């Protein structure tokens, strides 16, 4: 669950939320947002914190996602999975090949038979991306985001054996 509170400092102390498994997400407009596991029991908080501590139930889903994504640890995981999915797809179909496939597929004069040759590529990329989005959602939804793992290599066996050279040969025929 996401809670919010206002950090307060005096001449001697910075008063912050204390407790195990408290993940500091972000501070926005003077409110600090934290993620606390649903089953967690917080210890007694400093009075300055307790006075402002509240369930952040006024947030929209978009705001919650933005706040979680602002957390350095979560942002790191999201950046890592984004880099990994791009590197994985590019290792099989480089940017030039993808652009050529896109151009050929979109061109009105491309025969349907040629588009049919490209369909397995789009289906494969779509399956990789669906997995990516599910893992990305898992990172954003779980309290233990650092333990979310992924393995794009599982899609190696289903990658179609379509090469740009084969598409060009089919065009020339």
Does 173 have pLDDT greater than 80?
no
Q: Dump the DSSP string for 111-156.
A: -HHHHHHHHHHHHHHHHHHHHHHHHHHHHHH-S-GGG----GGGGG
Parallel, antiparallel, or unpaired for β 2-5 and 31-35? antiparallel
pLDDT in tens, 46-87: 888 889 998 898 888 888 888 888 888 899 999 999 999 999
Give the count of beta carbons closer than 10 Å to the beta carbon of residue 97: 17
Question: Cα separation of 169 and 165, whole Å?
Answer: 6
* Interacting residues of 93 by C-beta distance below 8 A, sequence separation 6+: 101, 121, 125
pLDDT in tens, 26-49: 888 888 999 888 788 888 888 888
Query: pTM value?
Result: 0.78
Structure token pair of residue 39: 């089953």
DSSP 8-class letter at 11: S
């Amino acid at each position: 669950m996401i809670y919010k509170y206002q950090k307060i400092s005096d001449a001697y102390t910075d008063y912050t939320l204390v407790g195990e498994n408290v993940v500091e997400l972000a501070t926005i407009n003077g409110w600090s947002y934290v993620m606390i596991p649903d089953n967690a029991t917080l210890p007694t908080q400093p009075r300055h914190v307790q006075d402002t501590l509240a369930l952040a139930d006024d947030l929209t889903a978009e705001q919650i996602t933005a706040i979680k994504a602002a957390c350095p640890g979560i942002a790191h995981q999201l950046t890592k999975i984004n880099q990994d999915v791009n590197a994985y797809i590019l290792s099989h179909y480089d940017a030039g090949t993808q652009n050529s496939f896109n151009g050929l597929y979109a061109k009105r004069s491309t025969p349907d038979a040629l588009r049919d040759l490209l369909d397995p590529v789009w289906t494969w990329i779509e399956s990789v991306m669906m997995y990516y989005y599910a893992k990305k959602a898992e990172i954003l939804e779980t309290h233990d985001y650092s333990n979310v793992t992924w393995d794009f290599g599982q899609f190696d066996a289903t990658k179609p054996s379509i090469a740009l050279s084969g598409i060009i040969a089919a065009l020339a025929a």
